[in-house]
Amino acid sequence: MTAPKAVGSDRSDRPGNKPRSLAVAQWCAAQGWPVHPLAPGRKTPPANCPACPANAHVADACQCRAAGRWCHGFHAATLDPDLLDAWWKTNPGFGAGVACGPARLVVLDVDTHTDAVPARDRILPGIPIHQDVPLEGLASGYHSLALLAALHQVADPTTDTGTLRVRTPSGGLHIWYLDHAGLEFTCSTGSSSTRALAWQVDVRAHGGFIVAPGTTTHAGTYAPLSGAKTPAPLPQWLSDNLVRTGHLKDKPVPPPAAQPAVPPRARQAVLAAGGGRTRANRLLEPLLQDVANCATAPEGTGFTGKLNRAAFTAGGLAAGGHLTRTEAEQALLDTALAARPAQDRHNRAVIRAGLAAGARQPLHLEVRG
């Protein structure tokens, strides 16, 4: 199926034709991407019906969707062509938005704001940029994303003609990928101090939506660029960086009081390095213990973050010569398996990403007996 073309207005060419934005919505739904309306001329959902704010309920408690209304933005997104027809019949000026989570989409939203360049540790969160690296000319998300790609010796995603790319009216870029591994990433903004991939690069995934290609707002059209018309699978290096920067869906709560033991095989792998209790052992063991403690609850323990921290530290220790990568990986796998036996694929993805990130920052410690 051909992607919708960018259009200059939402009016049909001939009387009786359906609105262009409805054609966009139906094309997106045909791809398996649930669609919801956007307010006419805007990039935000229309207001809820009067009953929603009056009752002050959350989306999960809303009865409007069951009644065929579009309340609560992307929570109302649908693949039902009859429902889309009914919505656009009510307001032909609607634009189309796509709910990223149900569509298994990860979209990089590259911005071109005029914000001042932040401190070096905020440009690529978690990756130090040495003072000797010049930053003259760095002015937008295009540059920070290119820098991240260069560090991984891969092609700049903004030039990736193998996936759907959409130019925004402000000069930014939406780069669409498919989360084929089903890791369930969450949204972020590039300016966030808690979770961000790169400065001025937002992430649209679970818990968010993206303006559909071909949609026109008062600011202009979201125009598909030449190249692929549908999303490619999310590249492994980007998936690893999303894991590293805390984008995996999780529900952190205060840690449980119980203290399950680190599996003996994992402790043996750590202690075998260097022949005994070294500074490296003392650094890694508490982190493994944090992961092991997550066995007391099936969710809500911050497991992913703890495993990522342990893997990052283990990668640095391995790169610094304090233990082998095989020993580090085995210790992490054994501990993660004991804490979360049902999510081996998830565990391995987090460990792989953490080890790789840590290996780029070797830890050089004095070994003591």
- pLDDT one-digit tens code per residue, 126-177: 888 878 777 888 899 999 999 999 988 999 999 999 999 999 999 999 999 9
Q: Extract the tokens encoding 8.
A: 């200059």
Q: What share of the chain is helix, strand, coil (3-state, %, to 5)?
A: 40, 10, 50
Residue 229 has pLDDT above 60, yes or no: yes
Instruction: Assess whether 209 and 312 both reside in one domain.
Output: no
Please report, for the chain, how many H helices and E strands are present, in that order: 12, 11
- Tell me which residue of 350, 326, 120, 331 sits closest to 240, measured CA to CA: 350
For residue 367, tell me if it sits in a domain: no
Instruction: Assess whether 89 and 118 both reside in one domain.
Output: no
What pLDDT sits at residue 249? 82
Q: What percent of the chain stands above pLDDT 90? A: 42
Instruction: Assess whether 222 and 314 both reside in one domain.
Output: no
Instruction: Assess whether 92 and 106 both reside in one domain.
Output: no
For residue 37, tell me if it sits in a domain: yes
Q: Residue 24: phi, psi to the nearest 5?
A: -60, -45
CA dist 309 and 244 (Å) reads 9
CA dist 295 and 255 (Å) reads 11
- Tell me which residue of 152, 178, 163 sits closest to 98, measured CA to CA: 178
- Tell me which residue of 25, 13, 6 sits closest to 91, measured CA to CA: 25
Instruction: Assess whether 112 and 90 both reside in one domain.
Output: no
CB–CB of 264/252 below 8 Å?
Answer: no
DSSP reduced 3-state for 96: strand
Per residue in 171-223, pLDDT tens? 999 999 999 888 899 999 988 878 899 999 999 999 999 999 999 999 999 99
For residue 241, tell me if it sits in a domain: no
What pLDDT sits at residue 15? 44
Instruction: Assess whether 279 and 313 both reside in one domain.
Output: yes
Residue 16 has pLDDT above 70, yes or no: no
Residue 269 has pLDDT above 70, yes or no: no
Instruction: Assess whether 76 and 107 both reside in one domain.
Output: no
What pLDDT sits at residue 255? 38
Instruction: Assess whether 220 and 120 both reside in one domain.
Output: yes
Residue 289 has pLDDT above 70, yes or no: yes
For residue 309, tell me if it sits in a domain: yes
For residue 165, tell me if it sits in a domain: yes
Which residue do the tokens 């669609």 mark? Answer: 35
What pLDDT sits at residue 273? 44
Q: Which of 96, 130, 147 is the last residue of a domain?
A: 96
Return the higher-pLDDT residue of 157 and 342. Answer: 157
Instruction: Assess whether 223 and 118 both reside in one domain.
Output: yes
Q: Extract the tokens encoding 223.
A: 């125009």
What pLDDT sits at residue 366? 55
Q: Which of 57, 77, 96 is the last residue of a domain?
A: 96
What pLDDT sits at residue 238? 95
Give the count of alpha carbons within 13 A of 184, CB side only: 9
| Span 224-234, average pLDDT | 95
Return the higher-pLDDT residue of 172 and 11. Answer: 172
Q: Which of 46, 66, 96 is the last residue of a domain?
A: 96
Which residues face 137 on adjacent strands?
A: none
Instruction: Assess whether 295 and 181 both reside in one domain.
Output: no
What pLDDT sits at residue 5? 56
For residue 256, tell me if it sits in a domain: no
What pLDDT sits at residue 228? 95
- Rounded to two decimals, the pTM is 0.67
| Span 33-55, average pLDDT | 87
Residue 10 has pLDDT above 60, yes or no: no
Q: What is the mean pLDDT of the chain?
A: 83
Instruction: Assess whether 159 and 185 both reside in one domain.
Output: yes
| Span 305-325, average pLDDT | 86
Q: How confident is the model at residue 13 (pLDDT cuts 50, 70, 90)?
A: very low
Residue 328 parent element (H or E) = helix 325-339
What pLDDT sits at residue 278? 58
For residue 39, tell me if it sits in a domain: yes
Burial 71-92 (b: 16+ CB within 10 A, else e): bbbbbbbbbeeebbeebbeeeb
How many domains does the chain divide into?
3
Residue 270 has pLDDT above 90, yes or no: no
Instruction: Assess whether 148 and 91 both reside in one domain.
Output: no
What pLDDT sits at residue 302? 79
Residue 355 has pLDDT above 60, yes or no: yes
* Pick from 27-31, 39-43, 134-138, 352-356: least confident: 134-138
What pLDDT sits at residue 4? 58
What does the DSSP assignment read for 131-182? TTS--TT--SHHHHHHHHHHHTT---GGG-TTS-EEE-TTS-EEEEEE-TT-
Residues spanned by the domain of 273: 264-359
For residue 2, tell me if it sits in a domain: no
